Amino acid sequence: MAPDLMASDRSGPASVRVRVPANCANLGPGFDAFGLALTLYDELTVTAGGSGVTVDVVGEGAGEVPLDESHLVVQSIRAGLESLGASVPGFTLRCENRIPHGRGLGSSSAAIVGGIAAAYGLTGTPLDRDRVVALAGEIEGHPDNVAAATLGGFTIAWIEAGTGRAIRLEPVAGLSGVVYVPQTKVLTKEARGLLPDVVPHSEAAANAGRAALLVAAVTARPDLLLTATEDLLHQEYRATAMPESLALMHKLRGSDWPAVIGGAGPTVLVLGGPGETSAGIPAVPTGSLPAAPDGWARYELEVDPVGVQVWSGEVAGESSPSAE
């Protein structure tokens, strides 16, 4: 049985603060493999003490998510503690959420990774990001989103011997993104349910080529992003769940913007940069993108470079961008 770690006798701090970034998975052809961490953050404060849990949520999800042991962050803290062979009988959790829920920006992966990271902080254990990816991927059911939330930057995730694994690659300098976020939600389970069991071999082969090209585009050749983000594997099959998003994506791509559906949608992500990278290779300048459609939010975001972070006690994080 895992030992109980009370505030008076544990090696870790009595309070930890966690910041975890939003992320977009797939990026077009990299279905269930690619992820990109973005500078929009959820912040958690966990204070050990007493018995049971008290949960307070402000921002996204307030009034909608449960405030008890069934809260996803609480479940993830418990799972993280169990994996570390420890137990904290009671704690208070405060969630300051900025990542929209059910929009394809990795809100569930942020909750899972944030909870596991908090468990590391509460026990005073140095963060093992590979173990976080593995455990978070087990909870989430796939490792692409949790990899980006954990490692930051551009990630490639896979499952090996039943365990989620990931590597982080450095995006080309200046890579950024603009996300268009509708008010409507799309559940990942619903979106996955629209995918066929079989796709034509020619489309699968073309998609593999685009995914390989996208690695080069994100890390060195942003001028190839429009071609590299072409997808034949999942986006069009999900059109009935998000027709407005697909229409916006096609409109942007028709104007040579590298637009994709963010994760399972319905957010639309456009990848680009300041106009030219440090290597002198031109990129799509995101500053000239059109305004959001009526009722949508628009965020101009950079690539988060580090992924989840943990501090002892409360610290002031960087201000997060607000929606236009």
Q: Give the list of residues 6+ apart from residue 281 with CB closer than 8 angstroms, or none.
A: 172, 220, 221, 222, 223
CA dihedral of 166, 135, 83, 162, whole degrees rounded to 10: -90
Rounded Cα distance between 210 and 216, Å, is 10
Q: Is-contact 149 23, C-beta < 8 A?
A: yes
Helix (H, G, I), strand (E, B) or coil at 25: strand
**What's the pLDDT tens digit per position in 241-293?**
999 999 999 999 999 999 999 998 899 999 987 555 544 555 666 667 889 99
Under the banding of pLDDT at 50, 70 and 90, the label for residue 152 is very high
- Quick one: which of 98, 85, 105, 200 has its CA closest to 145? 105
**What pLDDT, on a 0 to 100 scale, did the predictor assign at position 285?**
65
- The predicted model scores a pTM of 0.90
User: Hey, what are 218's tokens?
Assistant: 């994100």
pLDDT at 3 over 60: no
What does pLDDT average to over the chain? Answer: 89
What are the Cα distances from residue 192, in Å, to 105, 127, 233, 259, 316?
16, 32, 12, 20, 38
**What pLDDT, on a 0 to 100 scale, did the predictor assign at position 12?**
63
Residues annotated in a binding site for ATP: 100-110
**What's the pLDDT tens digit per position in 80-104?**
999 999 999 999 999 999 999 999 9
Domains of the chain (ranges; CATH) run 15-170+305-312 (3.30.230.10), 176-302 (3.30.70.890)
Residues annotated in a binding site: 100-110
Q: Residues of the chain with pLDDT > 90: what percent? A: 77
**What pLDDT, on a 0 to 100 scale, did the predictor assign at position 316?**
38
